[in-house]
């Protein structure tokens, strides 16, 4: 027997590796078909496993990643998108996650991916490894029980789509037009989209449920698809009156007009009294389209994507800044990847970040840089939380102005 270790897996270990996150996330063990599908989709050299040294040699922890460019203000940056992280309930609190995170982050850094990004199942886990909450997401609940909700008249036309292949194509086409303009969005691997729509079988969740969602597209006056939506309706009646709830799982649009018209359509579906839009940006404009904006309420706002900066110079050079300025950041990274002092000179037209010996303007933990990176959290807020210290007067104001994003960073899918 050997001691506990973390390493990448071999092909014949994939089924046991996949068993770990499914069990940790309260799912059923994978069947042979699921394992074979995953064999075609994952890179084994990006699948990290923890082993406790037991004679059976089976993994007790899992952590995967895939390459994904991420949109940042004014540009994009290569990232290691982290997924399938889990430790068996029999092996928690034994250091397995720490070993996997150290190995995985080193691997992502070696691949010249300046940041790692993930969706945290639980808030307290990933700050220990240098991740900071970078984007928030929320739901929007709309009371549609009153008539004459909308300020403006309808435009374009809505079409029902009962062909999952056609819907997937429309979804991919719309997303491809806009993802790089919205900070926090990822360019996903091709196989993920037909899984999202139920066109092909997935690994987690019910593919039948995805297939059975009602799917619609909106076309503008020229006939071009500008947005897509997929939803389900929970039928409910009270006092012999319909009180159903429509829940929209996917809403991807190229324009605000397309979003407005798809939301309008869903608000007018018969036998419903509420619409819930899931996983939306925190600056969602729905309330501004209604005669009574209080009928649209932000719900379930919480952290969504977390970012871990590994290569400070490359990450900060990749994005653009709202105002010209110079900052010297002194970063504390106990894991060593981002530790040091860096000079950032940037503005709307470009940026350059390099190591420096100059006196710092701001002193911070690496997780604070992840939180500020996309503009989702102001430097003033991070300083109030004790994550950043101002070493030179005026630096917080300058940093907050430079890092501001014109729209709230947001990620349309959980991965």
pTM for the full predicted model: 0.95
Catalytic site residue 126? yes
- Work out whether the CA dihedral 399, 125, 112, 76 comes out positive or negative: negative
How far, in Å, CA of 172 to CA of 1, rounded?
A: 49
Any idea of the CA torsion for 144, 146, 151, 153, to the nearest 10 degrees?
Answer: 80
Structure letter (DSSP) for residue 154: P
CA angle at 54 for the pair 49 and 59, rounded to the nearest 5°: 20
Coil, helix or strand at residue 236: coil
Structure letter (DSSP) for residue 372: H
How far, in Å, CA of 276 to CA of 233, rounded?
A: 10
C-beta of residue 219 within 8 angstroms of C-beta of residue 225? yes
Predicted confidence at residue 204, as pLDDT, reads 61
Separation of first and last alpha carbons in the chain: 36
Catalytic site residue 415? yes
Predicted confidence at residue 206, as pLDDT, reads 65
If phi > 0 it is left, if psi is from -120 to 50 it is alpha, else beta; for residue 311 that is beta
C-beta of residue 266 within 8 angstroms of C-beta of residue 231? yes
How far, in Å, CA of 97 to CA of 50, rounded?
A: 8
Q: At what angle do helices 14-24 and 32-41 cross, to 10 degrees?
A: 100
Task: Say if residue 288 is exposed, middle or buried (CB neighbours under 10 Å; 0-12, 13-18, 19+).
Answer: exposed
Residue of 51, 66, 126, 403 marked active site:
126
CB neighbour list of residue 373: distance below 8 Å, 6 or more residues apart: 72, 115, 132, 134, 307, 309, 315, 319, 403
Q: Which residue has the tokens 């900070």?
A: 183
Tokens matching residue 55 = 């004679």
Predicted confidence at residue 198, as pLDDT, reads 85
* Of 277, 177, 182, 276, nearest in space to 227 by CA: 177
C-beta of residue 395 within 8 angstroms of C-beta of residue 364? no
3-state helix, strand, coil in the chain (%, to 5): 30, 35, 35
What's the maximum distance between 2 C-alpha atoms anywhere in the chain?
Answer: 73
How far, in Å, CA of 228 to CA of 180, rounded?
A: 18
| pLDDT tens per residue across all 415 residues of the chain | 578 999 999 999 999 999 999 999 999 999 999 999 999 999 999 999 999 999 889 999 999 999 999 999 999 999 999 999 999 999 999 999 999 999 999 999 999 999 999 999 999 999 999 999 999 999 999 999 999 999 999 999 999 999 999 999 999 999 999 999 999 999 999 999 999 898 887 766 567 888 889 999 999 999 999 999 999 999 999 999 889 999 999 999 999 999 999 999 999 999 999 999 999 999 999 999 999 999 999 999 999 999 999 999 999 999 999 999 999 999 999 999 999 999 999 999 999 999 999 999 999 999 999 999 999 999 999 999 999 999 999 999 999 999 999 999 999 999 9
Count of residues making up the chain: 415
Predicted confidence at residue 207, as pLDDT, reads 76
């Amino acid at each position: 027997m050997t001691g506990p270790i973390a390493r990448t897996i071999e092909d014949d270990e994939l089924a046991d590796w996949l068993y770990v996150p499914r069990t940790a996330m309260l799912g059923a063990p994978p069947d042979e078909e699921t394992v074979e599908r995953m064999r075609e989709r994952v890179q084994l050299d990006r699948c990290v496993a923890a082993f406790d040294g037991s004679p059976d040699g089976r993994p007790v922890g899992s952590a995967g990643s895939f390459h994904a460019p991420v949109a940042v203000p004014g540009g994009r940056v290569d990232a290691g998108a982290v997924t399938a992280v889990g430790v068996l309930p029999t092996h928690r609190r034994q250091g397995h996650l720490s070993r996997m995170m150290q190995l995985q982050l080193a691997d992502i850094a070696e691949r010249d991916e300046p940041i790692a990004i993930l969706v945290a199942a639980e808030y307290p886990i990933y700050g220990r490894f240098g991740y900071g909450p970078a984007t928030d997401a929320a739901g929007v609940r709309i009371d549609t029980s009153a008539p004459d909700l909308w300020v403006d008249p309808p435009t374009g036309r809505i079409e029902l789509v009962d062909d999952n292949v056609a819907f997937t194509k429309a979804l991919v086409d719309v997303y491809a037009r806009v993802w790089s303009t919205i900070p926090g969005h990822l360019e996903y691997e091709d196989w993920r989209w037909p899984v999202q729509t139920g066109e092909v079988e997935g690994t987690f969740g019910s593919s039948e449920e995805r297939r059975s969602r009602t799917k619609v597209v909106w076309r503008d006056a020229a006939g071009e698809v500008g947005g897509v939506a997929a939803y389900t309706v929970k039928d409910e009646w009270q006092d012999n009156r319909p009180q159903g709830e429509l829940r929209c799982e996917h809403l991807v649009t190229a324009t605000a007009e397309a979003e407005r018209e798809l939301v309008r359509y869903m608000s007018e579906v018969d036998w419903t009294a509420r619409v819930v839009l899931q996983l939306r940006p925190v600056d969602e404009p729905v309330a501004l389209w209604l005669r009574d904006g209080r009928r649209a309420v932000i719900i379930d706002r919480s952290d969504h994507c977390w970012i871990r900066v590994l290569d400070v110079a490359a990450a900060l050079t990749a994005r653009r800044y709202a105002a010209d300025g110079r900052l010297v950041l002194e970063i504390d990274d106990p894991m060593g990847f981002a530790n040091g002092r860096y000079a950032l000179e940037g503005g709307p037209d470009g940026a350059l970040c390099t190591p420096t010996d100059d006196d710092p303007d701001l002193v911070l933990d690496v997780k604070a840089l992840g939180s500020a990176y996309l503009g989702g959290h102001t430097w003033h807020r991070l300083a109030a939380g004790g994550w950043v210290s101002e070493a030179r007067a005026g630096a917080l104001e300058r940093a907050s102005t430079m890092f501001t994003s014109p729209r709230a960073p947001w990620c349309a899918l959980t991965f």
